[in-house]
Amino acid sequence: MSILVDRNNRLLVQGITGREGSYHAQRCMEYGAQLVAGVTPGRGGETFGESVPVFNTVRQAVAETCADTSLIFVPAPFAPDAIIEAVDAGIGLIACITEGIPVMDTVKVVRYIQGKPLTLIGPNCPGVISPGENFKMGIMPGHIHMPGRTGVVSRSGTLTYEAVGQLTGLGIGQSTCVGIGGDPVSGASFIDILQKFQDDPDTDNVVMIGEIGGAKEQEAAEYISSDFTKPIAALIVGESAPPGKRMGHAGAIITGSAARAVEKKRALAAAGVAIIPAPGEIGRTLQELIGA
């Protein structure tokens, strides 16, 4: 009942000794994630909690614990190098929570990982959670999720939580929820995640949450119209945002007609997507779409 992760994944946290890293590492463990290592340069040999070893490098951590996923809480000036370090150590799934990474730094990272056998979620994202697998690598509140067959993919962290809260309240469980991040340049796209949901026999339908800025939603609409066969509902926020003003996320800025919410809604509707009229209608719209 998941994409990207399952209960067998072995998680390490880069930046585990920092305030945010330590707090969320503990929450991931409490949710059920198999946390096997932490990495903080210069803190190797220490222990996180009662039994999680801390290493100086990701390569050391992988060699000694067989970690295969990494959650990154490294400050923005050092986060690009942290991602590359995880890639070079053979990590297959990386979620970078860090906000404020310069766009050109992320461009270099995205170019570096092209063609390599890994998935990067983020940066500036909430991470990934699969309730049925009791696996969480991120900052989302685990208690609002419930196992089920609806996939969620979003550019917004807080709207992901809102969507999940509504779905759970209606008894609609989730297979996997993925926050791809709100930066202009990021790792996995809507299309990457939708392809995985399309191929997942345990995901029956999808909620997608987009926002102003860029053309990621139009690209998703093109894919949906040709290759996606499952029911999908989409919310696009930022319709009243003034042009040229950044609204929250670094990528949420109208810089051309394609970046406007109305254009994104038009493209998705033409692809057969059910448009969610307002944030408070996420659960109800999906419920009507799937007849739940």
Residue labelled with tokens 């969480």: 136
Residue type, 132: G
Q: Distances in Å between the alpha carbon of 58 and those of 10, 21, 88, 117?
A: 13, 15, 9, 17
Q: Provide the annotated active-site residues.
A: 249
Are the CB atoms for 71 and 137 separated by under 8 Å?
A: yes
Are the CB atoms for 271 and 224 separated by under 8 Å?
A: yes
Tokens of 232: 């999908």
Tokens of 145: 């999720």
Q: State in Å, rounded, how far the first CA of the chain is from the last one.
A: 19
Are the CB atoms for 66 and 36 separated by under 8 Å?
A: yes
Are the CB atoms for 62 and 51 separated by under 8 Å?
A: no
Tokens of 21: 């890293």
